[in-house]
Chain A
Amino acid sequence: MDIFLQQIINGLVLGSIYALVALGYTMVYGIINLINFAHGEVLMVGAMVSWTVITLIGPGTLPGVLLLLIALAVAMGVCMVLNVAIERLAYRPLRDAPRLAPLITAMGVSLLLQTLAMILWKPGYKPYPTLLPNQVFHVGGAVITFTQVAILGVTALTLAGLMLLIHRSRLGRAMRATAENPRVAALMGVRPDTVIAATFAIGAALAALAGVMVASNYGSVQHAMGFLPGLKAFTAAVFGGIGNLPGAMVGGLLLGLIESLGAGYIGPLTGGVLGSHYQDIFAFIVLILVLTLRPQGLLGERVADRA
């Protein structure tokens, strides 16, 4: 029973990180129908930049929480600028090109960011300092670290804030209008280019936040760390119904739970033939099942014929 609870907690932490990244995917896909393959790499850049800031200032010179917040702010800023630049240089010129072209540039950008990260930060794992209190809570036999509590709390707040932004602000309304139909939105006085840039900026900020969370949770960073979370977050976005914001959140959380429970129980269930290192296949199995059984995702309405 305590294993079950522990896996639920781990799954929720994992899932909230996926949810943050999935939102970036789903917003971009909702507006310009592009799988932004480089989104996972934005997460990586966020983690790397925050690592650099922390190492430059030096852990211990400032209170941990403050240092983490400064690093987070810098990482978010860098990622926002980066993502807007990527959109401007690699995606916008191809908005009317055949569908394959922006997909290829997106893969190119993903590869480019990884390569640049290798050049800038050198390959290999780098330890990420623990800046939050090392405190541990016991919940009915399961253990939850302070970092995990923080991840859950910050994610919940961020998601709430984002929903407010999307549903209450002018920008949010412009984003929804553009997602619905860019031409009509333009006729209504919305500037699609600005809205798209803003979408990329918001997505990047969320990805940077997720990157810092991943780095704090696992205690290390490296140049390829964004790839799998990126892929899984896309899976989460599809799972929930791509283009649908609450769907991305639900999809992210569910995927995290599935992975965590799958990794925890695959060993006993298969009599030890398959172990927890098969964790990474669950996301793809979920993806294949969802796309074949319910291509519009859990909360999506539109049929995925446009894909």
Chain B
Amino acid sequence: MPLTAWASRLLPADPARRRLAVFLGSALLLLVLPLVAQGFGNAWVRILDTALLYVLLALGLNIVVGYAGLLDLGYVAFYAVGAYMFALLASPHLFETFPAIAALLPNGLHTPIWLVLPLGAALAALAGVMLGAPVLRLRGDYLAIVTLGFGEIIRVFMNNLDAPLNLTNGPKGLSGIDPLRVFGLNLGRPLELGGYTLSSVTLYYYLFLLMAVLSVIVCVRLEKSRIGRAWMAMREDEIAAKAMGLNVRNLKLLAFGMGATFGGVAGVLFAAFQGFVSPESFSLHESVLIVAMVVLGGLGHLPGVVVGAVLLAALPEVLRYVAGPLQALTGGRLDAAILRQLMVALAMIGIMLLRPRGLWPAPEHGQPAPPRPDPAALPPVAAKPGSPP
């Protein structure tokens, strides 16, 4: 590969310095990326933002599926919990619907981010544990289908909790959600910095990037911690893990809870970013998409998960620009949304068939068993009668 050879000649030879160079290089790239993209239009930055949100979601689901081995197809429910919580606490909806709240807070609800983020995380974690508790005994396919059902139940409620008590505004969704304010900085407005304008989506990009980096750090630490290793032991063999004295029940609940926390935080960010939430954003397709990201990238392997998330989130968005002519060519049958779905579906099938362990699998996976001890060192076994000497 001439490209990689060329790239490696640019980098210092010493491995430690090489790692530092790669680290600084990617950090610089991530920081500059939206500024460059902004030049081509805010739509491109918006794609980056969405990709980062999906990275957050995929990292969260990776805790549940990748580390603990619990296939959760209702993950989007926690995303919804976070998003709806923020939407309710920072939009005029509750204020307009309930006179009691209007009387209590005459200026409307504008809950600050420092209250909402932990609250969203906590609420989602609680929902995660609540989902986990009744399904502790289930594994594999059964767990998948029950969590899928759980996601659908949440969606039915989101769709129907507009009567007799209008809580979610039903299929119409909640709009007019406040943008996030961080230390007095309103992320919803462009920021003038010495004559250079940072657009709102770019500001969100930096917030999302910060959250994604934090999540990666949390995940790396988690992976190496006792809890992380216990999860993986449980994933590989639950009975053996139990026999070794691990509390499988608490580990599972913890995995559901921690995974859900990420989903809740991502939901809060999503609601603030969009300014609008409706049940449509939390369909089963979304869950399947996130599962696909985790599995396609490489289950339980952080770089793989991040790559999977970015790939599946950003690529179809980029395809949107290809879709115009294609749509005209096919008489309107193949628009961007359909093309995206087609791609996700084909990727799910194709990558599983070609690389069942994902695009960038964890190196430990598929490692051969440790070499057997030298037979000569073992006590001799009595020869079976009839076997050759």
Contact A94 B295 (CB under 8 A): no
Task: Tell which of B79-87, B142-150, B374-382 binds the partner.
Answer: B142-150
B299 proximal to A (CB < 8 A): yes
B160 proximal to A (CB < 8 A): yes
Contact A231 B333 (CB under 8 A): no
Task: Tell which of A66-74, A111-119, A168-176, A189-197 binds the partner.
Answer: A111-119
Q: Which of B134-165 contact A (CB under 8 A)?
A: 134-135, 137-146, 148-150, 152-153, 156-157, 159-160, 163-165
A283 proximal to B (CB < 8 A): yes
A101, B134: Cα distance in complex, Å: 26
Q: Chain A at the B interface: mostly helix, strand, loop or mixed?
A: helix
Contact with B along A231-261 (1 / 0, CB 8 A): 1001100100000000000000000000000
A172, B184: Cα distance in complex, Å: 72
Taking a contact as CB atoms closer than 8 A, the residue among B140, B156, B285 that contacts A307 in the complex is: B140
A231, B333: Cα distance in complex, Å: 27
Q: A238-B145, A278-B160 are in contact. Are A291 and B348 (CB under 8 A)?
A: no
Q: How close is A251's CB to chain B, nearest CB, in angstroms?
A: 14
Contact A288 B71 (CB under 8 A): no
Determine the chain B residues whose CB is within 8 A of the CB of A104 once the complex forms: 291-292, 295, 348, 352
B345 proximal to A (CB < 8 A): yes
A99, B356: Cα distance in complex, Å: 10
A58 proximal to B (CB < 8 A): no
Contact A107 B288 (CB under 8 A): yes
Q: How close is B170's CB to chain A, nearest CB, in angstroms?
A: 10
B230 proximal to A (CB < 8 A): no
A264 proximal to B (CB < 8 A): no
Determine the chain B residues whose CB is within 8 A of the CB of A34 once the complex forms: 141
A103 proximal to B (CB < 8 A): yes
Closest to A272 in B: B164
B344 proximal to A (CB < 8 A): yes
Q: Which of B341-367 contact A (CB under 8 A)?
A: 341-342, 344-349, 352-353, 356-357
Contact B138 A307 (CB under 8 A): yes
B338 proximal to A (CB < 8 A): yes
B248 proximal to A (CB < 8 A): no
Taking a contact as CB atoms closer than 8 A, the residue among B134, B144, B341 that contacts A111 in the complex is: B341
A223, B135: Cα distance in complex, Å: 31
Closest to A292 in B: B134
Contact with A along B284-298 (1 / 0, CB 8 A): 110010011001000
A245, B356: Cα distance in complex, Å: 31
B334 proximal to A (CB < 8 A): yes
Contact A103 B146 (CB under 8 A): no
A188 proximal to B (CB < 8 A): no
Give the most central of A104, A277, A291: most B CB within 10 Å: A104
Contact B135 A292 (CB under 8 A): yes
Determine the chain A residues whose CB is within 8 A of the CB of B134 once the complex forms: 288, 292
Taking a contact as CB atoms closer than 8 A, the residue among B71, B138, B149 that contacts A284 in the complex is: B149
A235, B146: Cα distance in complex, Å: 9
Contact A238 B142 (CB under 8 A): yes
A129 proximal to B (CB < 8 A): no
A235, B156: Cα distance in complex, Å: 17
Contact B346 A288 (CB under 8 A): no
Taking a contact as CB atoms closer than 8 A, the residue among A99, A235, A283 that contacts B140 in the complex is: A99
Determine the chain B residues whose CB is within 8 A of the CB of A156 once the complex forms: none
Determine the chain B residues whose CB is within 8 A of the CB of A94 once the complex forms: 352-353, 356
Contact A103 B144 (CB under 8 A): yes
Q: A112-B349, A231-B152, A280-B152 are in contact. Are A35 and B141 (CB under 8 A)?
A: yes
Q: How close is A109's CB to chain B, nearest CB, in angstroms?
A: 6
Determine the chain B residues whose CB is within 8 A of the CB of A108 once the complex forms: 292, 344-349, 352
A295 proximal to B (CB < 8 A): yes
Determine the chain B residues whose CB is within 8 A of the CB of A235 once the complex forms: 145, 149
Contact B348 A234 (CB under 8 A): no
A64 proximal to B (CB < 8 A): no
Q: Which of A58-97 contact B (CB under 8 A)?
A: 90, 93-94, 97
Contact A105 B348 (CB under 8 A): yes
Determine the chain A residues whose CB is within 8 A of the CB of B140 once the complex forms: 99, 307
Contact A105 B352 (CB under 8 A): yes
A94, B352: Cα distance in complex, Å: 8
Contact B345 A111 (CB under 8 A): yes
Contact A35 B145 (CB under 8 A): yes
Q: How close is A19's CB to chain B, nearest CB, in angstroms?
A: 18
A187 proximal to B (CB < 8 A): no
Other than the given A103-B144, A114-B341, A284-B152, 12 more pairs (CB < 8 A) read A90-B353, A98-B357, A108-B345, A112-B349, A118-B333, A231-B152, A235-B145, A274-B160, A275-B160, A280-B152, A288-B146, A291-B137
Q: List 7 A-B contacts (CB under 8 A).
A: A104-B348, A105-B349, A108-B345, A119-B330, A227-B284, A304-B138, A307-B141
Closest 6 CB pairs of A and B: A108-B348, A284-B149, A112-B345, A111-B345, A108-B349, A101-B356
